[in-house]
Amino acid sequence: MSSEDQKIKLSSRILKALSFFLLFISIIIVIFSTATNQIDYNLLMLGFGFLFLSAILGSIAGEGIIKIKYETLTELRCTNKDCKFLQYNKFNFGDYVFKILKKCDLCKKGDIFIQNIFHIKETEAKKLMEQATTGASI
């Protein structure tokens, strides 16, 4: 797990905790404002204000305005077993596993085909796409 994931998890946890805390405070304020014979409307409004804030924070933490983005990649290899060709591309519509794309520029013998299609975090996808063993783009 990368440190970025942990940060996202932590900040979402903090938001959730904050949301619960505000909910708790707002309930206390609402109870307190209606406990006396004369209802304190200012305090009551404050209580509902906190409640509203708590709901917003809760939904941000739960639904993920903080969200990990994913990318679908295709892993390209050469049919020639001795060839070191390896490249990761963004998934294109119509891609499938074992689809042959073109002749290999690296060994001039094999064909480049899609070995794998997978889902990965956007940050890791960028790293993979940079570490191709050939500069040739497809």
**Tokens in use for 99?**
């689809």
Restricted to residues 3-62, the positions that interact with Zn ion (CB under 5 A) are: none
d(CA 101, CA 89) in angstroms, rounded, equals: 12
Least Cβ distance, residue 130 to Zn ion (angstroms)? 20
- What is the smallest separation between the CB atom of 70 and Zn ion, expressed in angstroms? 29
Question: Which of 50, 85, 88, 113 contacts Zn ion by CB under 5 A?
Answer: 85
Does residue number 113 form part of the binding site for Zn ion (CB under 5 A)? no
State how far the Cα of 21 lies from the Cα of 18, in Å rounded to an integer: 5
Instruction: Kindly state the DSSP code that residue 84 receives in the 8-state scheme.
Output: -
Contact between 73 and Zn ion per CB under 5 A? no
Q: Does 80 bind Zn ion (CB under 5 A)?
A: yes
Q: At what angle do helices 3-35 and 41-63 cross, to 10 degrees?
A: 160
Select the residue interacting with Zn ion from 71, 110, 113, 134 (CB under 5 A): 110
**If phi over 0 gives left and psi between -120 and 50 gives alpha, with beta otherwise, what is residue 73?**
beta
Interface ranges with Zn ion (CB under 5 A) = 78, 80, 83, 85, 104, 106-107, 110
